[in-house]
Amino acid sequence: MKTILVTGAAGFIGFHTAQALAKRGDRVVGLDNFNGYYSPALKRKRALILKEKGIEVVETDLNDHATLRALFETYPFTDVLNLAAQAGVRYARKNPQAYLSSNIDGFLSLLEILRHYPEVKLTYASSSSVYGRNEKIPFSVDDPTDQPANLYAATKKANELMAYSYHHLYGTRMTGLRFFTVYGPWGRPDMAYYSFAEAILSGKPIHLFNEGKMQRDFTYIDDVVRGTIAAIDYPGSYELFNLGNNRPVELLEFVSILEKLLGREAVKVFEGPSAGEVETTYADITSSCEKLGYAPSTNLEEGLAHFVSWYQGEKQCTPI
């Protein structure tokens, strides 16, 4: 049994992973600042469900050093899963400071605590965004990642470098996870699959950048949760893994699946390329398969069907 601090536990991936860890018998303590980047009410709902399952989510910021220290003094953590971050690519133009505060200062705050607890392993979220303007596909963890296409990507790349330096200096065991467009029930309203579903149902137009030809390696949440838990258990001392689906899908095809599931046609507005968005994300998952036993098994039709059925049920209860 492990004792695991999950940061960003009221977030999408944290909510699902915390439950899966608790289900297998680990003791999970969550942490989240419930910020307003997207509906705090949705985050509170997730936290309430976690509470019902015996998982406490402490409301604090990664930058609150005193509370972090107190948590480490209270619980005998064996692991930290750091998912708390300012996510989203486009928001970085509006509020760049939020990325530095959560992704750089917040991550540093965690690393600074961990250097005093060398036995605690850190598994942390990076992103497929680090591949940036890399044109070779599929993206392998050995590919160069020094051309980030936006500030979010730059902060995630910085996390990988900061993690490496703390591993080198203090011996902390680290595993970084490059997630590829994760989707599913209880997902993030700022992501395309969610905002498109909302727009399609309310008859509002959806804007398809790059004429809808962008490709994304949509990865279903349950597959990501399995990969993340395997990464927590992975005995290596410093490693990076891709957690993608290895099967990129064009945005237009994705919209057509969503239309079928929702039983309504989208009002599509075709736009040119959006600066800061990469054209294709496509994961090479060879090393994740070999070392983590990672084998994503949910196709987009099946995964989106789960999302749509959750979304429609949720809308009938209370707006989020």
Ligand X SMILES: NC(=O)c1ccc[n+]([C@@H]2O[C@H](COP(=O)([O-])OP(=O)(O)OC[C@H]3O[C@@H](n4cnc5c(N)ncnc54)[C@H](O)[C@@H]3O)[C@@H](O)[C@H]2O)c1
| H/E element, 125 | strand 121-127
CB closer to ligand X out of 85 and 113: 85
Map tokens 């942490």 to a residue.
31
CB closer to ligand X out of 112 and 264: 112
Which residues of this protein are in contact with ligand X, per CB under 6 A? 7-8, 10-14, 32-35, 43, 61-63, 83-87, 102, 106, 125, 127, 179, 181-182, 188
Alpha carbon distance 259, 278 (integer Å): 24
Closest approach of ligand X to the CB of residue 77, in Å: 16
Please identify every residue annotated as catalytic: 152
**Minimal CB distance residue for ligand X:** 11
**C-alpha radius of gyration, the chain, whole number:** 19
List the one residue out of 67, 158, 148 whose CA is nearest residue 107. 158
CB closer to ligand X out of 164 and 264: 164
Closest approach of ligand X to the CB of residue 263, in Å: 26
Alpha carbon distance 98, 84 (integer Å): 12
Closest approach of ligand X to the CB of residue 265, in Å: 26
Alpha carbon distance 214, 248 (integer Å): 9
CB closer to ligand X out of 39 and 264: 39
Tell me the DSSP string of 32-54.
Answer: E---TTS-HHHHHHHHHHHHHTT
Closest approach of ligand X to the CB of residue 212, in Å: 19
